[in-house]
Chains A and B, each alone.
Chain A
Amino acid sequence: MALLTPYSKIPELNTATVLLVENEEQFQSRLADAIVQQEKDINVNVRLARKLPLPVENSETRPRIDLVVFIVNLLSERSLQAAESSLSHLGPDYFLGKLCFLVTDARCGAVPQERLLSVRRLAASHHCPVIYAEHQTEDGITMTAMRVLTILKVSAGLSPVATTALYLSTFTRCTFPSDFDED
């Protein structure tokens, strides 16, 4: 079973590719549009997927993926389950700063609190950041696109200042949160 690996292809000049994985396929396309419109200086490719593993037919033509974003909608349990099962198809190199979780509807009162805790626990155990997104307003989508772009530029090596692991460690806690039990 082929794992997705980031370093098996040659990077292109001034280009970055991000893969948005979402089970419901609701937010991906709007976020993709916002990302592409935001960025003028570099070429950004946004690929969309429902789940991993990605279809084998495209693997030759697919460019090198610099950042994988799992979009989890907290309103359904299935979203989280699908994200968890897709995690096992990623090569280990992605866990060093090329993966992040995006959570929508975190403030909704109908969502049981345990679901958000499970997402945070999952992300913390893999040392990945969690971004909270608001997907119902234009401003929210633009803001999320900007944040994803910032992380993408670092993951693709296009930022002269930051290296991936160092940068993303500012987003994540390095210790496994035993204070999660108190959360």
Chain B
Amino acid sequence: MECNALVVNTPAHRPDTRRSKSYGRSCVEPPSLFWQTPGHLTTLGHRIPTSRRAAKSHNITTKVDPEQVALLIKNEWKLSHVTPLYRFRHTQLKLYSKHLAAFIIAEKQQGVAVEVGVEAGFKVTFSAVLGIAETKEDAETVFIQVHSKPLFSADTPKAVWRGWLTCVNGDPEYLRSLPPDFVSLPLFCSSGPEYLTALVKSWFERTFDCSFGSLYLNSTMLNWLAALWTGCHPTSNIRYLKLAWNMPSQPPLDIAYTVNPQDAWELWNSIHTEDSTDDRINIEEVQLFMNGLEIHFFRHFKIYLSAGTLTKVSTALGSAHHDGKIKIGSSDYITTLLTLLTECALMKTPV
């Protein structure tokens, strides 16, 4: 089987489990009026995973510097997926910081009269957050902060924008099939003003020849998160399970459905009994769990929740919104969450 660049060719001897469908099918369609055609399982030969390992509590502070972990937990992140970066070197982070700072300043000054104001300068720091990557194929996480340097005062620079690129438990076959100069960090999280996000993305696109796209979380992904987080209840109290639905009625109805964590845990436990030997969770169990919650709601309110869309899932461990915004509540289960998101990003990347 030969792999050229980023195309996986149909191997001469076809193994039974994998077939690579026509590469051209889903990527080269003209942009449609509607959302971007997801270039997903067909191009990478991925199958949508039907079972996953249960969330394991990881005391990640043993591997990662607790200050850096604290930075990840604080904010609400907007997700994007990124194609592999060409010639990104973890050793040249200082150089990248200087370039990005210069780029941002130059872009800001374009067409604007030079003003002696508060935000006269920007300082950018790139740092590698070691320890988040799980397997040896995963590249190390890179954390980027943009601080604004006030010109005259003696204040310390304050961070106006943060972002990070990460890859956790990415598909090993895909990562191995990349040509040597490419680094894959498919998940990009950003928090801060929109213009800075756009500037950082365009700098990355110019420097590393990659492309960004927004990552939306569909209802299957949110269902997995709800089930995985509920399963964590015995070890780390989730305090509530909140689901937000949007019903397409006239006028549109927003439903916020809060479930007591103990009840949610009992429902989950009755579906997926705790079995220490096999900790895989199937998609059917997740669907049964969500069905149980929907039927309960129907019994009381006579509303079919499945006729609407699930927009947000939140627990004390974190929250995820269908538009691609997440908030990480606690550092315990961060690895599982990032694994899920990396997988989602890899599936949505158009190559």
Contacts and interface: CB of A to CB of B under 8 A. Distances in A.
Nearest to B215: A109
A112 interface: yes
B47 A78 contact: no
A177 B261 CA distance: 41
Contacts, number: 61
Interface in B311-326: 322
A179 B19 contact: yes
Interface of A: 23-24, 75-79, 81, 105, 107-114, 136-137, 179, 182-183
**Main DSSP-derived SS at the A contact region:** loop
A113 B40 contact: yes
The bracket for how many chain B residues form the interface is 20 to 34
B216 A109 contact: yes
A130 B1 CA distance: 34
Contacts of B152: none
Interface stretch (B30-38, B72-80, B120-128): B30-38
Contacts of B18: 182
B48 A77 contact: no
A78 B219 CA distance: 13
Contacts of A23: 307
Contact of A81 (B34, B216, B220, B306): B306
**Main DSSP-derived SS at the B contact region:** loop
A112 B219 contact: yes
Contact of B308 (A76, A108, A109, A183): A76
Contact of A136 (B19, B33, B307): B33
Contacts of B307: 23-24, 76-79
Given A107-B34, A107-B35, A179-B19, A113 B48 contact: yes
A97 B248 CA distance: 33
Top 4 closest pairs, chain A to chain B, by CB = A109-B35, A77-B306, A112-B220, A78-B307
A110 B19 contact: no
Contact of A110 (B33, B248, B306, B309): B309
A181 to B, nearest CB: 8
B15 to A, nearest CB: 11
Contacts of B248: 24, 75-76
A109 B36 contact: yes
B304 interface: yes
Given A109-B35, A109-B36, A110-B309, A78 B218 contact: no
